[in-house]
Amino acid sequence: MASLDAQLCEIAEMSRSDLQRRWAKLTGRPVPRLSVGMLRLALGYEIQAKAMGRLSRPDSEQLDASDQARPRAMSLTPGMRLVREWHGAVHVVTVADDGTVMWNDRNWKSLSEVARTITGTRWSGPAFFGLKQRKAAA
């Protein structure tokens, strides 16, 4: 049988029908309804899993759970300073005691309003200033 690298290179050149035949022969399962590109990736995974072993159950469960994690924003606290560089300019936002944000010597309603003004596009303020974090997967 060809080396693992050679097998992976082969699938890059295969037609859809060749990929489907290879999938059925390798896995013994029905061919998934995927685009050619995704089928190549799935087949590549199956080839590697056969050669090197599959993910452990805990690793597989952790990956499955990771797509359940949703971003959450840290809360703003008075006195907090947020710094972001954008196109070579440094922008500093300060959170006032009443929770409003100060940028360029002006009060703003939200971080998102500041982010939109800086970028000229619709940005989430917490995302722009790096306050969004992924929840830990269960």
Residues 53 and 35 both lie in one domain = yes
pLDDT at residue number 123: 86
Record the pTM. Answer: 0.46
pLDDT at residue number 137: 47
- Judge whether 20 and 40 are in contact, CB under 8 Å: no
Residues 95 and 125 both lie in one domain = yes
Query: 17: which strand partners?
Result: none
Residues 47 and 84 both lie in one domain = no
With respect to residue 138, please indicate whether it lies within any of the assigned structural domains: no
* Residue 121: DSSP 8-state: S
Could you report the per-residue pLDDT of 117-134, keeping only the tens digit for each?
999 999 888 888 888 765
Rounded Cα distance between 52 and 4, Å, is 10
With respect to residue 31, please indicate whether it lies within any of the assigned structural domains: yes
How many domains are there within the chain?
2
pLDDT at residue number 70: 59
Residues 8 and 46 both lie in one domain = yes
Residue where a domain stops, chosen among 15, 32, 66: 66
Mean pLDDT of the chain: 85
Residues 13 and 61 both lie in one domain = yes
Could you report the per-residue pLDDT of 59-74, keeping only the tens digit for each?
888 777 766 665 566 6
End-to-end CA distance of the chain: 40
Residue where a domain stops, chosen among 17, 39, 66: 66
Rounded Cα distance between 32 and 85, Å, is 44
- State which residues of the chain have pLDDT below 70: 1, 66-74, 133-138
Domain that holds residue 11: 4-66
Nearest Cα residue to 27 out of 13, 12, 10, 45: 45
Residues 59 and 86 both lie in one domain = no
